[in-house]
């Protein structure tokens, strides 16, 4: 994968480059200390992934993304966790964000998440489907971050019961009774949750298979919630839950 590092801090650039040297399949084709220079490079040199600092002088990482015509995968790096909230306005392209100093294993997880997302996207392009309907067999991280009411909230996936869409919004239902409302489509959320326990069972529902207590003909039950199973998703659900 062809990758760029864009960060105004010299030590951060050196640190990222050293980590990437040890990750197989990663080729750093450019290192820039400002977004404008990176933008000029990208005009003639397409890349797969950018490690992008958010807080930079003259042009922030978020402004940089706003002004790109074709956006590759983005992994934001930031010294200030609060800046990451705005990063998820570009949920289709932002793979992850990491708080500095960047831990090597955390960066590797983010890169693996991008690889998994790209595999799903490529599979959808070949089959004519969408990444949200493709089955992912990787477990990815054990948590995700969602933006709700101007806060960035960490949700542990083993505590997430299901996600339900209502119009332009999605509701994350947690097992302790909490719920978080997020302005995002189910398709985008499915792309972010790279975990084998989760499956789409209806155009409006993604469920945690570990929390299912009963399955009937066209419904399943999680807690006291009865969730419909659509005809289009029933076969893939049964395939996942049937014993070998």
Class of domain 138-241: mainly beta
Q: What string of H, E and C letters represents the secondary structure of 121-180?
A: HHHHHHHCCCHHHCCCCCCCCCEEEEEECCEEEEEEHHHEEEEEEECCEEEEEECCCCEE
pLDDT at 127: 39
Q: Which residues contact 122 (CB under 8 A, 6 or more apart)?
A: none
pLDDT at 84: 56
CATH 3.40.50.2300 residue spans of the chain: 2-127
CA–CA distance, 141 with 21 (Å, rounded to integer): 22
Count other Cβ atoms within 10 Å, centred on residue 162. 21
CATH 2.40.50.1020 residue spans of the chain: 138-241
pLDDT at 121: 52
Q: Which residues contact 59 (CB under 8 A, 6 or more apart)?
A: 34, 35, 36
Question: What does each of the 244 residues of the chain score in pLDDT, given as a tens digit?
Answer: 999 999 999 999 999 999 999 998 999 999 999 999 999 999 999 999 999 999 899 898 888 988 887 888 899 998 876 665 555 555 457 777 888 899 999 899 888 878 766 655 554 444 344 443 333 333 445 888 888 877 778 888 999 999 999 888 899 999 888 899 998 888 888 888 878 889 999 999 999 999 999 888 789 999 889 999 998 888 888 888 765 4
Backbone dihedral angles phi then psi of residue 204, each to the nearest 5 degrees: -115, 5
CA–CA distance, 96 with 132 (Å, rounded to integer): 18
CA–CA distance, 179 with 11 (Å, rounded to integer): 40
**Tokens 């990437």, residue?**
20
Helix 104-127 vs helix 10-21: crossing angle, to nearest 10: 70
Q: Which residues of 194-222 are buried (b: 16+ CB within 10 A; e: fewer)?
A: bbeebbbbbeebbbbbebbeebeeeebeb
pLDDT at 144: 84
CATH superfamily to which 2-127 belongs? Response regulator (3.40.50.2300)
DSSP summary character for residue 82: G
């Amino acid at each position: 994968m062809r990758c760029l590092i864009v960060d105004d801090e010299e030590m951060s650039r050196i640190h990222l480059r050293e980590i990437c040297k040890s990750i197989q399949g990663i080729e750093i084709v450019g290192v820039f200390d400002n977004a404008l220079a990176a933008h000029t490079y990208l005009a003639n040199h397409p890349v797969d992934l950018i490690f992008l600092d958010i807080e930079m002088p003259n042009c922030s990482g978020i402004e940089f993304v706003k002004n790109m015509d074709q956006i590759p995968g983005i992994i934001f790096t930031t010294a200030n966790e609060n800046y990451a909230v705005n990063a998820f306005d570009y949920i289709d392209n932002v793979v992850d964000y990491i708080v500095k100093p960047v831990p090597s294993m955390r960066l590797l997880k983010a890169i693996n998440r991008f690889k998994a997302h790209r595999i799903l996207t490529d599979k959808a392009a070949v089959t004519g489907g969408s990444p949200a309907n493709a089955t992912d067999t990787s477990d990815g991280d054990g948590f995700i971050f969602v933006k709700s009411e101007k806060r960035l909230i960490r949700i542990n996936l083993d505590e997430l019961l299901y996600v339900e869409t209502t119009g332009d919004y999605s509701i994350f239902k947690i097992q302790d009774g909490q719920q978080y409302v997020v302005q995002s489509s189910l398709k985008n959320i499915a792309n972010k949750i790279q975990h084998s326990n989760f499956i789409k069972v209806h155009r409006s529902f993604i469920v945690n298979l570990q929390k299912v207590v009963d399955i009937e003909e066209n419904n399943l039950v999680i807690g006291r919630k009865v969730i419909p199973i659509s005809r289009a998703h029933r076969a893939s659900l049964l395939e996942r839950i049937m014993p070998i």
